[in-house]
Amino acid sequence: MSLPVHLVESLDGTAPGSVVEVTGDEAHHAVAVRRLREGEQVVLTDGQGTSVTGSVTSTGKRTFSVTVSSVTQDPRPEPAITVVQALPKGDRGELAVEVLTEVGVDRIVPWAASRSVAVWKGERAAKSHAKWQATAREAAKQSRRSWLPTVTPLASTADLATLVAEADLALVLHEDATLPLGALEVPEAGRIVLVVGPEGGISPDEQAVLTDAGAHAVRLGAEVLRTSTAGVVAVAAVLARTSRWA
């Protein structure tokens, strides 16, 4: 059975024999909800590639301590995968973030596409962004990731053009595209950007902006997927052709 994973602020300078104290909401959930007990083995990660395994030596209401037995340093995965996710309606945004995190995406960019049903403005934007961040955090622990994905602030189409222009490979999922995703060569390093449109599809103007910036319009197959699931399918198809999944 896999050991539970908990996120901590920093593991700088941690070595076997060190004691790491976990506090706040992370510790409260572990002790009060998960009922973590002394003697249990756990994994702690800082979300920046460092993980430690150790034994719980003490617990409190909002704290627990771990004596480290081993330290692991994982390099940042290559190629880095960014998914631009147009805002879906309802709770499908959290579903998209969850599965994208589980499959290994490095950066998730919420996009205010012209045909998005959902709108992030003012207080709602802050709450929605925080919810996406929390979803990514929990999914990263569940999938035992040592690198926590970044959820950026809401992006405009102009922001996307810059992302695409800086990428080593940029793909836009489009149901009317004639080029299959598998026809393109996938780089072994660098940055890959994948754009997923809203329920109503990417508008011609948005498609033109992305194409002019260097993106390739691609299709996955004959079936039309939901915006909340298309990204994870496309990322899996890309990763299967890299050393990350070798």
Is the peptide bond between 79 and the residue preceding it cis, with omega within 30 degrees of 0? yes
Same domain, 44 and 92: no
Same domain, 160 and 87: yes
Q: Considering the entire predicted model, what is its pTM?
A: 0.93
Same domain, 114 and 230: yes
pLDDT for the residue numbered 221: 86
Same domain, 140 and 123: yes
pLDDT for the residue numbered 192: 98
Contact at 8 Å (CB) between 47 and 76? no
Same domain, 30 and 114: no
Domain final residue pick, 56, 73, 90: 73
> Nearest 5°: phi and psi at 119?
-130, 130
Same domain, 18 and 100: no
Q: Which residue range is the domain that position 69 belongs to?
A: 5-73
* Number of domains composing the chain: 2
Same domain, 106 and 224: yes
Contact at 8 Å (CB) between 222 and 87? no
Local confidence pLDDT in tens for the 246 residues of the chain: 689 999 999 999 999 999 999 999 999 999 999 999 999 999 999 999 999 999 999 999 999 999 999 999 999 999 999 999 999 988 999 999 999 999 999 999 999 999 998 999 999 999 999 999 999 999 999 999 999 999 999 999 999 999 999 999 999 999 889 999 999 999 999 999 999 999 989 999 999 999 999 999 999 988 889 999 999 999 999 999 999 998
Two tokens at 215? Answer: 């993106």
Domain final residue pick, 73, 92, 116: 73
pLDDT for the residue numbered 224: 84
Same domain, 95 and 25: no
Same domain, 11 and 129: no
Inter-CA distances, 157 with 92, 126, 128, 193, 219, Å: 21, 19, 19, 14, 21
The CATH number of the domain holding residue 197 is 3.40.1280.10
Domain final residue pick, 73, 89, 122: 73
pLDDT for the residue numbered 1: 67
Same domain, 64 and 125: no
Same domain, 113 and 26: no
Same domain, 129 and 186: yes
The CATH number of the domain holding residue 36 is 2.40.240.20
pLDDT for the residue numbered 240: 96
